[in-house]
Amino acid sequence: MLTYFLWIILFAILILFAGAMAWTLKRPQEESGESEEDLEEWTCPSCGFQVQMGTECIYCGEKKPIV
């Protein structure tokens, strides 16, 4: 009797896990706020640090200049 109960619990957990995976994959992908320009390298005009990604220098806080 206990064996059947454990199989039912295991089956329910697997069904819930599969449902969560299906729900996650079904959702439409939201576009992130990052654009192609945010992924380019640029040199900070204030401190000269070469920022590899982002729009703000991690050392001095200077924003990326608009070209």
Q: Could you report the per-residue pLDDT of 16-65, keeping only the tens digit for each? A: 999 999 998 887 766 655 566 667 899 999 999 999 888 899 999 999 88
How much is the average pLDDT of 1-25? 94
Q: For residue 4, what pLDDT is reported?
A: 93
Q: CA angle, 38 as apex, 26 and 44 as ends, to 5°?
A: 155
Q: What is the pLDDT of residue 5?
A: 94
Q: Which is nearest to 38 in space by CA: 7, 19, 10, 66?
A: 66
The predicted pLDDT at position 15 comes to: 97
Position 66 scores a pLDDT of: 83
Beta-carbon contacts of 55 under 8 Å, excluding residues fewer than 6 positions away, are 38, 63, 64
> Domain ranges in the chain?
2-51
